[in-house]
């Protein structure tokens, strides 16, 4: 029998018993998903889901957990724990020689072309917009910063987003993330460039990758917030946390990163 209320729970770190902020929760392959708040609490409407639908819970730096919708509805404790991944971060070695810097992604901002998160079926949290970086094949780069341009922001409080970086899969779509820890940031910029310094994250990548901006807000009204997007540059969209990526012809996000590499 289907449950009569939305599924809600708190996601904890199994080793520290501390809530995991902004963990992703959703039904694989369906436009049903959300993102936990800063304390790991979430609510997800699974009333119309099938009993055997696959519910996924993930966070960067943790082992993804899965369960059926039936198991979620019968979860007695209303708590979910994720096991942290033990990893050693690669040391960034700076070799002698000339270092070059390059902007990857969208180099120029289309400040008259407004792009926004659309909130399909009431979902805003977990929606992503991505562009391909177009890094040269075989080139290893160190990612120094991330940038995008806000055309309009009429919200009084700071807005919360997550930067995601993905490898390119066999279908030329965003694949797995190569981030070792989440990059969550707030901005109160009303109009202009949002700049995020990434040097302390020690992110390196060889070959091409995708740059993605993820919405962590409950709702984003396009009349209050929009960012620059280039109509002529291919854009990639994911409408929910575990929904499939698809390519759109135009109107995507103007996102870029500055990288450095050995010449």
**What is d(CA 129, CA 186) in angstroms, rounded to the nearest whole number?**
17
Q: Which residues pair with 104 in a beta bridge?
A: 257
Give residue 231's pLDDT band: very low, low, confident or very high (50, 70, 90): confident
Q: Band of the pLDDT at 3, cuts 50, 70, 90? A: very low
Domain ranges of the chain: 7-82, 99-262
Segment among 25-34, 84-93, 174-183 with least mean pLDDT = 84-93
Helices and strands: H and E segment counts in the chain: 1, 21
Per-residue confidence (pLDDT) for residue 2, from 0 to 100: 44
Query: What percentage of the chain has pLDDT greater than the value 70?
Result: 93
Q: What is the pTM of this model?
A: 0.92
pLDDT digits (tens, 9 = 90+) for 100-136: 999 999 989 999 999 999 888 778 999 999 999 999 9
User: What string of H, E and C letters represents the secondary structure of 142-198?
Assistant: EEEEEEEEEEEECCCCCEEEEEEEEEECCCCCEEEECCCCCEEEEECCCCEEEEEEC
Residue 57's nearest CA partner among 90, 91, 14, 15 is: 14
Q: What is the pLDDT of residue 227?
A: 96
> Which of 1-10, 219-228, 242-251 has the least mean pLDDT?
1-10
Cβ count within 10 A of residue 121:
11
Q: Report the CATH architecture of 7-82.
A: Sandwich (2.60)
Report how far apart, in Å, the C-alpha atoms of 180 and of each of 84, 90, 165, 201, 203 are: 11, 10, 10, 9, 8
45-78 tens-digit pLDDT: 888 888 999 999 999 999 999 999 999 988 877 8
Element holding 262 (H helix, E strand): strand 255-262
**In this predicted model, what pLDDT tens digit does every residue of 214-223 receive, in sequence order?**
999 999 998 9
Measured CA distances, 57 to 1, 60, 158, 191 (Å): 23, 11, 26, 35
Residues 78-98 have pLDDT tens digits of 899 999 998 665 555 555 568
Out of 8-22, 94-108, 154-168, pick the least confident.
94-108
CATH class of 99-262: mainly beta
Same fold, 7-82 and 99-262: no
User: What is the C-alpha to C-alpha distance for residues 180 and 202, in angstroms, rounded to an integer?
Assistant: 9
Q: Is the pLDDT of residue 249 over 80?
A: no
Q: Tell me: the pLDDT tens digits for 142-161?
A: 999 999 999 999 999 999 99
pLDDT at position 6? 81
């Amino acid at each position: 029998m289907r449950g009569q209320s939305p599924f809600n729970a708190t996601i904890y770190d199994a080793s520290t018993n501390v809530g995991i902020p902004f963990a992703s929760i959703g039904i694989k392959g369906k436009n049903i998903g959300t993102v936990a708040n800063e304390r790991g609490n979430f609510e997800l409407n699974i009333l119309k889901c099938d009993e055997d639908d696959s519910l996924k819970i993930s966070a960067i730096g943790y082992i993804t957990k899965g369960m059926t919708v039936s198991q979620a509805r019968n979860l007695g404790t209303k708590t979910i724990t994720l096991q942290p991944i033990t990893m050693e971060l690669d040391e960034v070695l700076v070799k002698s020689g000339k270092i070059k810097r390059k902007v990857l992604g969208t180099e120029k901002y289309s400040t008259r072309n407004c792009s926004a998160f659309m909130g399909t079926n009431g979902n805003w949290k977990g929606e992503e917009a991505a562009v391909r970086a177009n890094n040269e094949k075989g080139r290893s780069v160190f990612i120094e910063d991330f940038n995008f341009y806000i055309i309009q922001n009429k919200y009084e409080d700071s807005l919360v987003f997550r930067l995601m970086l993905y490898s390119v899969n066999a279908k030329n779509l965003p694949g797995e993330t190569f981030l070792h820890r989440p990059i969550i940031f707030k901005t109160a910029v009303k109009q202009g460039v949002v700049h995020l310094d990434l040097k302390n994250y020690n992110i390196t990548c060889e070959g091409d990758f995708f740059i993605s901006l993820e919405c962590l807000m409950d709702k984003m009204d396009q009349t209050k917030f929009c960012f620059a997007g280039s109509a002529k540059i291919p854009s990639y969209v994911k409408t929910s946390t575990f929904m499939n990526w698809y390519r759109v012809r135009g109107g995507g996000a103007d996102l870029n990163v500055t990288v450095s590499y050995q010449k």
